[in-house]
């Protein structure tokens, strides 16, 4: 476990400051300490709400609420929060918490391209052609800033909202990859590692600056078969003192497998910041897990240092692994107390 909880840093810092010899606090130690009073989520949340039955499971601490940008802002500057509100009402009635997943990419509103003139390119997503706005076109983040401000004005005061995923201009609009799209297609569209890194970081800044009291997550995958691209994103954001260590990395492909994106798995294990995860599939899809064993996701999460996992709704409704789920919740409560 390489993720040292913030509280430990704070205790060490205060103890050192109370020492008569203040020189015991080195410059390096001071730079490692970032004061932040937000509460970050930990434990198990359902990856989707469905009819809300997943929240009946005692180990489900909350649920992810997913919503498309095109649903939130069907007309430019006109917002409809009903898709969020209807789900949050169910979650709050169950006395649970929620995280927010904003879906961009092919679920961005048509007006972004047709009216605002954002540049775009076409890819195949699940064998269907879709249009992806280019995140490196300045218009895209300009419009995302307006969206983030509207969302924050409405929800940042809600203490039951614990995590906000940034939208990404990718195939499914949250995950940071293009689902098998060939590298030459991306390069022909103008993709470069530097453009991608800087643009994703800009989106993260926009949402962190809007939701100043919330944890923020950026979902990461290898791109162009290169783990250094997501590694740059997560480390640059975590080490940016203006963000107060509120922006963490997320992986929606937690499987227990070390052979899948192994370079990024290694980078995440060494990463000093917060990591959030979603399980790659349902437990009955056994081939998706190391040795066909679903419980390896919890083992891998502990090795990487993942504080929060979203198993699929299926696991909570069917109470598939009650012992392992209870153990993980108790484990993160101890580690991230």
- Model pLDDT, residue 7: 46
Predicted confidence (pLDDT) per residue in 267-293, tens digit: 999 999 999 999 999 999 999 999 999
Same domain, 181 and 135: yes
Shared domain check, 76 and 4: no
pLDDT on residue 127: 85
Do 26 and 76 belong to one domain?
no
pLDDT reported for residue 11 = 43
Structural domain harbouring 13:
1-33
Domain match, 29 and 132 both? no
Q: What pLDDT shows up at residue 1?
A: 44
Tell me what pLDDT residue 197 has.
98
Same domain? 43 vs 11:
no
Same domain, 142 and 5: no
Domain identity same for 18 and 73: no
pLDDT for the residue numbered 36: 54
Same domain for 26 and 135, yes or no, is: no
Would you state the pLDDT for residue 51? 87
Q: Which residues of the chain have pLDDT under 70?
A: 1-36
Please write down the HEC assignment for all residues of the chain.
Answer: CCCCCHHHHHHHHHHHHHCCCHHHCCHHHHHHCCCCCCCCCCEEEECCCCCCHHHHCCCCCEEEEEEEHHHHCCECCECCCHHHHHHHHHHHHCCCEEEEEEECHHHCCCHHHHCCCCCEEEEEECCEEEEEECCCCHHHHHHHHHHHHHHHHHHCCCCCEEEEECCCCCCCCCCCCCCCCCHHHHHHCCCCHHHHHHHHHHHHHHHHHHCCCCEEEEECCCECCECHHHHHHHHHHHCCHHHCCCEEEEEEEECCCCCCCHHHHHHHHHCCCCEEEEECCCCCCHHHCHHHCCCHHHHHHHHHCEEEEECCHHHHHHCCCHHHHHHHHHHHHHHCC
| CATH number of domain containing 88 | 3.20.20.80
Q: Are residues 91 and 22 in the same domain?
A: no
Query: With a threshold of 0.85, does the pTM exceed it?
Result: yes
Is residue 75 located within the same domain as residue 176? yes
Domains: count for the chain: 2
Q: Are residues 1 and 92 in the same domain?
A: no
Q: Which pLDDT belongs to residue 3?
A: 59
Q: Are residues 193 and 246 in the same domain?
A: yes
What pLDDT is attached to residue 163?
98
């Amino acid at each position: 476990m390489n993720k040292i909880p913030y509280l430990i840093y704070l205790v060490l810092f205060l103890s050192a400051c109370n020492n008569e010899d203040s020189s015991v606090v080195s410059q390096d130690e001071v730079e490692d300490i970032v004061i932040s009073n937000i509460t970050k989520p930990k434990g198990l949340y359902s990856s989707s709400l469905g009819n809300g039955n997943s929240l009946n499971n005692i180990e489900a601490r909350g649920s992810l609420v997913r919503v498309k940008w095109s649903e939130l802002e069907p007309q430019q500057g006109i917002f409809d929060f009903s898709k969020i509100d209807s789900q949050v009402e169910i979650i709050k009635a169950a006395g649970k918490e929620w995280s927010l997943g904003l879906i961009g990419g092919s679920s961005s509103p048509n007006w972004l391209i047709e009216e605002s003139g954002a540049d775009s390119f076409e890819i195949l997503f699940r064998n269907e052609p879709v249009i992806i706005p280019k995140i490196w076109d300045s218009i895209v983040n300009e419009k995302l800033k307006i969206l983030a401000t509207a969302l924050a004005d409405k929800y940042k005061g809600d203490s039951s909202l614990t995590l906000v995923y940034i939208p990404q201009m990718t195939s499914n609009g949250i995950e940071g990859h293009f689902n098998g799209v060939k590298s030459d297609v991306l390069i022909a569209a103008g993709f470069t590692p530097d453009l991608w890194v800087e643009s994703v970081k800009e989106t993260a800044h926009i949402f962190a600056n809007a939701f100043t009291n919330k944890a923020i997550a950026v979902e990461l995958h290898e791109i162009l078969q290169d783990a250094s691209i997501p590694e740059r994103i997560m480390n640059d954001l975590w080490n940016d003192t203006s963000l107060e260590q509120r922006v963490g990395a997320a992986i929606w492909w937690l499987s227990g497998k070390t052979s899948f994106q192994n370079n990024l798995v290694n980078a995440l294990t060494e990463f000093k910041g917060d990591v959030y995860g979603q399980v790659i599939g349902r437990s009955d899809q056994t081939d998706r897990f190391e040795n066909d064993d679903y419980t390896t996701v919890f083992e891998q999460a502990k090795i990487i240092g993942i504080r929060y996992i979203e198993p699929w709704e299926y696991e909570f409704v069917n109470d598939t692994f009650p012992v392992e789920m209870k153990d993980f919740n108790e484990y993160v409560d101890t580690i991230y107390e």
